[in-house]
Amino acid sequence: MTRVVVVGATGNVGTAVLRRLAAEQDLQVVGVARRLPDVHTAPYGDAVWHAVDVGAPDAVSQLAAVFRGADAVIHLAWALQPTHDIPAQHRTNVVGTANVLAAVAAAEVPQVVVASSVGAYRGVDVDGKRDRKDESWPADGIPTATYAIHKAANERAMDAFAREHPEVVVTRLRPGLIFQRAAAAEIRGLFLGKLIPMRAVRWIQWAVLPLPYAFVFQAVHADDVADAYWRVVDQRAGGAFNIAASPVLTPPRIAAVLGMRGAVRVPFRLIRGIVTLTWRLRIQPTDAGWVDIAASVPVMSTERARTELGWEARHRSTDALGELVAGFADGTSVPGSGPLHG
């Protein structure tokens, strides 16, 4: 029986991965989370659970004990908050990933799959987004965004780990923004805070969406990302894979999904200044690094995932965003889970 360990299995992507793995036969799933979920609530009941804080001083030994005998480890644990406490984020995001890799080596696991991101890529200007970038585009991040800095640090750590442990298949997925209806409450909490009610999306249909022209990015449904995770494990495929759905999200398309009257172009510096001020005043939890990511990330080519994995997105990016918006309107949250990681 194949044994797969999912680290950070209670968040947006983790719950989708659990659902996807549950569809396979002869597969034992082990979930790892800092706080254990309610195992009486789907999809958590089909996994064996262990509570481990990946950033803790003794995490390597704890994780290695869980990993022994596994055929693959999928590492999804990530801290998007608190943005005002970068050392706390670094502890989970960078130290935690290093601990997972060390435990994989200690437990002699043959494959590790790590959640990277489009945010790991070097930024481009608006004109640079016209040409889709494949996995060879430099993954050295956007230097003004903590999220991107941490993702790029993990990319370097995976490169070093792969050189030092050629016996381990090292895989990384680089998805766009990941949406599903069930994650609405968690995403609101992470990026908007409590100031803006989730049901505010019902009140904005009369308005226009003010966004900079540079805000052009990709998204994908959590279930489609989960399918990619299973495919790289099932095929033991190594290397990097871009994961995103069509179409590319532009301000007019986002406005259409929100049911708004349209989009109006506003200066990038104005939006960045407003976000910086409200973040410093702790009115909302999103720092300006996320604005830089939204304006700078390249548009990715997903040809490698399609040709080598046979992966295709079953949901359009606009439909995935629409699910999230519907979740906002209904106040939907992931049932029975711990805090959102990754």
pLDDT digits (tens, 9 = 90+) for 93-116: 999 999 999 999 999 999 999 999
Across residues 17-37, what is the average pLDDT?
Answer: 96
Across residues 172-181, what is the average pLDDT?
Answer: 96
Question: Looking at the 3D structure of the chain, how many domains does it have?
Answer: 1
Q: Torsion-angle region of residue 66: left (phi > 0), alpha (psi -120 to 50) or beta?
A: alpha
Does the residue 203 lie in any domain?
A: no
Q: Mean pLDDT score of the chain, rounded to an integer?
A: 92
Does the residue 327 lie in any domain?
A: no
**Cα dihedral 296/302/303/304 (nearest 10):** 100
The 10s digit of each residue's pLDDT in 271-291 is 999 999 999 999 889 999 999
Give the DSSP letter string of 80-141.
---TT-HHHHHIIIIIHHHHHHHHHHHHT-SEEEEE--GGGSPP--TGGGGSPB-TTS----
CATH number of domain containing 41:
3.40.50.720
The 10s digit of each residue's pLDDT in 212-271 is 989 999 999 999 999 999 999 999 999 999 999 999 999 999 999 988 889 999 999 999
pTM greater than 0.75: yes
Does the residue 71 lie in any domain?
A: yes
Does the residue 182 lie in any domain?
A: no
pLDDT of 196 over the 80 cut: no
**Domain region containing 51:** 2-177+221-244
Cis omega (within 30 of 0) on the bond before 247?
yes
Q: How far apart are CA 222 and CA 17, in angstroms?
A: 8
Distances from the Cα of 291 to the Cαs of 94, 147, 268, in angstroms?
Answer: 22, 11, 9
**pLDDT value for 205:** 65
Residue 72 is classified by DSSP as: E
Does the residue 53 lie in any domain?
A: yes
> In Å, how far from its chain's centre is CA 270?
27
Does the residue 287 lie in any domain?
A: no
pLDDT of 28 over the 90 cut: yes
Report whether 98 contacts 60 (CB < 8 A): no
Of 32-41, 110-119, 148-157, the range with the lowest mean pLDDT is 32-41
